[in-house]
């Protein structure tokens, strides 16, 4: 099986290659794809050197699967070209997520929506993935009415330029700025650009994407997304109002039995999820599980995940694994 990684030299693409090395996909040929300035260079995968090719060259090779992480404009232009030659495209940008004809997939939750006719499949936003991994089993049991989310997102969610800005600040070096302000010792209440309604694109992704993934728009969502000076890992404070009452012990049990979710909620020993301990892991971590005492049927949660792995690369590859396992390629 030929698998292309589009954006192979980028931040997420590099993690994709690492995750592919760790997992047992039946890859017979890797096709690393990047911009024309990187074409001809080599990279190492499983101890073997591969030459980076252009998008045009990759389409001609007709891979069975193409994992895209090269930005929305590239996806809009090139994903249909890959699809036209029979390639299954799994796209990590926001380009196709809310397209009514494209599936938005977290395999553990809604992999069953995929069919042989799906040639462009969208990977959700990183913050959305960790959110729905925890909320999906609770929604099934108690039925959500309203979700209020505050995110604490790492600079890696912005990209290499932002990671470098934080590193420069920590080293006392003047350098290029990814943000309007210093990020070190700061919290910037803006992730992505502002829209006419006063929310950012990131916040509106959190409002819209869970409804599509859960196939239910009966609950309401509001969000505030904040950038903080951590190098990797996103955190979320989540308040959920349910139609039905719950027992906190049962909530913990449900979440502890959910594949891909790990409960870290031992207050006596100061154990709770943190970006530093979620780093380089594929699971979603949840803790600080407690009843909201200000109103009935309402729960507070703290959710953390590595945004470059489960939030991006790993989920993309898990979609590919689902397609292969169910003979959809």
Query: What confidence tens digit (pLDDT) does each residue in 102-156 have?
Result: 999 999 999 999 999 999 999 999 999 999 999 999 999 999 999 999 999 999 9
For residue 67, list its beta bridge partners: 5, 90
Q: Do 138 and 104 share a structural domain?
A: no
| Tokens, residue 202 | 């990131």
At 206, is the secondary structure helix, strand, or coil? Answer: helix
pLDDT digits (tens, 9 = 90+) for 42-95: 999 999 999 999 999 999 999 999 999 999 999 999 999 999 999 999 999 999
Same domain? 99 vs 210 = no
32: which residues sit within 8 A by CB, 6+ positions away? 4, 5, 8, 9, 17, 43, 45, 50, 51, 52, 53
Instruction: Reply yes or no on whether the pLDDT at 13 is more than 90.
Output: yes
- 8 A C-beta contact, residue 201 and residue 195: yes
Contact call for residues 131 and 145 (beta carbons, < 8 A): no
Name the catalytic one among 139, 180, 191, 234.
234
Exposure on the CB side of residue 69, measured as CA atoms within 13 A:
29
Number of domains within the chain:
2
Instruction: Tell me which of 126, 139, 180, 244 is the catalytic residue.
Output: 126
Q: In what order do the strands lie in the sheet with 220-227?
A: 220-227, 144-153, 234-242, 298-305, 284-291, 261-263
Question: What is the pTM (predicted TM-score) of this model?
Answer: 0.97
CATH code of the domain containing 244: 3.30.360.10
Residues paired with 262 in a beta bridge: 285
Q: What is the pLDDT, as a whole number, of residue 189? A: 98
Rounded CA separation 288/265 (Å): 6
Q: Is 180 a catalytic residue?
A: no
CATH number at residue 114: 3.40.50.720
Note the pLDDT tens digit of each residue in 286-316: 999 999 999 999 999 999 999 999 999 999 9
Q: What is the pLDDT of residue 329?
A: 95
Query: Residue 274 burial by CB count (10 A; 0-12/13-18/19+): exposed, middle or buried?
Result: middle
Name the token pair of 143. 């039925």
- Whether residues 113 and 242 share a domain: the answer is no
Residues 163 and 103 in one domain: no
* Cβ-Cβ contacts under 8 Å for 256 (sequence gap 6 or more): 262, 263
126 an active-site residue? yes
Same-domain check for residues 56 and 34: yes
pLDDT at 24 over 90: no
Same domain, 115 and 171: no
Q: Tens digits of per-residue pLDDT, 215-274?
A: 999 999 999 999 999 999 999 999 999 999 999 999 999 999 999 999 999 999 999 999
- 141-190: pLDDT as tens digits: 999 999 999 999 999 999 999 999 999 999 999 999 999 999 999 999 99
Q: Are 93 and 159 contained in the same domain? A: no
Pairwise CA distance, residues 211 & 109, whole Å: 12
| 3-class secondary structure, 239 | strand
Q: Residues 69, 174: one domain?
A: no
Range of the domain at 270: 127-307
């Amino acid at each position: 099986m030929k698998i292309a990684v589009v954006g192979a030299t980028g931040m997420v693409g590099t993690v994709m290659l690492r995750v592919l090395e760790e997992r047992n996909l039946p890859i017979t040929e890797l096709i690393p794809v990047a911009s024309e300035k990187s074409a001809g260079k080599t990279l190492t995968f499983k101890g073997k050197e591969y030459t980076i090719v252009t998008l045009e060259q990759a389409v001609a090779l007709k891979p069975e699967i193409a994992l895209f992480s090269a930005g929305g404009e590239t996806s809009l232009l090139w994903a249909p070209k890959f699809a036209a030659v029979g390639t299954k495209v799994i796209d990590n940008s926001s380009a196709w997520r809310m397209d009514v004809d494209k599936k938005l997939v977290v395999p553990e939750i809604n992999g069953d929506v995929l069919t042989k006719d799906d040639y462009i499949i969208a990977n959700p936003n990183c913050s959305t993935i960790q959110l729905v991994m925890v909320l999906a089993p609770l929604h099934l049991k108690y039925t959500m009415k309203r979700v209020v989310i505050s995110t604490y997102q790492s600079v890696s969610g912005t990209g290499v330029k932002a990671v470098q800005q934080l590193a420069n600040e920590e080293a006392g070096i003047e350098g290029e700025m990814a943000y309007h302000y210093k990020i070190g010792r700061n919290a910037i209440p803006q992730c992505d650009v502002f829209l006419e309604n006063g929310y950012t694109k990131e916040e509106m992704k959190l409002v819209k994407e869970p409804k599509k993934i859960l196939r239910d728009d009966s609950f309401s969502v509001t969000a505030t997304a904040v950038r903080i000076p951590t190098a990797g890992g996103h955190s979320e404070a989540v308040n959920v109002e349910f139609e039905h009452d719950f027992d906190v012990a049962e909530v913990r049990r449900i979440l502890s039995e959910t594949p891909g979710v790990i409960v870290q909620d031992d207050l006596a020993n100061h154990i709770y999820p943190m970006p530093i301990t979620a780093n380089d892991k594929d699971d979603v971590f949840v803790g600080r599980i407690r009843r909201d005492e200000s109103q009935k049927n309402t729960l507070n949660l703290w959710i953390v995940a590595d945004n470059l792995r489960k939030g991006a690369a790993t989920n993309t590859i898990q979609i590919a694994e689902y397609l292969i396992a169910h003979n959809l390629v």
